[in-house]
Amino acid sequence: MGKSDNNSEKMVAALLIGAAISGAAAILFAPNKGSTTRKKLFAKGEKVKNNLQEKYDDVLKNSKKEVAEKVKS
């Protein structure tokens, strides 16, 4: 993985974390019942978890590919 790939990954991770924090803050300050807020937080958490899992899977796949290429050379 090149240096720019690493920077891109860090930027995507920062964006996902920022989106999760801002989404949670918006939900917490919204005037809803506690049960509604908890449901929204859970749904948002699931989305963030899925996004992070996809990113992790992509990084793992790319890393394995690079290692395989290095071993071949």
What are the tens digits of pLDDT across the range 8-62? Answer: 778 888 888 888 888 778 777 877 787 887 888 889 889 888 988 988 898 888 8
At 5, the pLDDT band (50, 70, 90 cuts) reads: low
Q: What is the structure's pLDDT at 2? A: 54
At 3, the pLDDT band (50, 70, 90 cuts) reads: low
The Cα–Cα gap between 46 and 24 comes to: 12
Residues in the chain: 73
Q: What is the structure's pLDDT at 24? A: 78
Radius of gyration in angstroms for the set of CA atoms belonging to the chain, rounded to a whole number? 17
